[in-house]
Amino acid sequence: MRTKLSIAATLAAGLALGSLAAVHAKLPAPPAKTDAEKKAEDEKKAAAKAKDAEALGKAQDKAVANYKKNKGIAMDVKPAAKAAAKK
């Protein structure tokens, strides 16, 4: 009975040490990027920036059209005062 308990404890301790070592292991550094990879990444960033600028322009145009459609009329703050003035 004691033998089984000591084997189980030894295995548990080994598993704990193994997982601790795995957690603290360092990964190798990624390989350096080539000039072609850097250029492709810059082109992707530029394309994304242009796409975002286009989307912003469309949103601004939509907001202006909505403003013109509604003529910039804001809701009354004091509708009760107008109702009293009409009486």
Q: Note the Cα 34 to chain centre separation in Å.
A: 28
Note the pLDDT tens digit of each residue in 2-58.
Answer: 888 888 889 888 888 888 788 887 888 889 999 999 999 999 999 999 999 999 999
Q: Note the Cα 25 to chain centre separation in Å.
A: 28
Query: For the chain, what are the domain ranges?
Result: 43-69
Rg over alpha carbons for the chain, rounded to the nearest Å, is 34
The pTM (predicted TM-score) of the whole model is: 0.46
> Are the CB atoms for 76 and 82 separated by under 8 Å?
yes
What is the reported pLDDT for 84?
A: 58
Note the pLDDT tens digit of each residue in 65-77.
Answer: 998 888 866 655 5
What is the reported pLDDT for 39?
A: 96
CA-CA distances (angstroms) from residue 72 to 35, 59, 76?
52, 17, 12
pLDDT at residue 87 is higher than 70: no
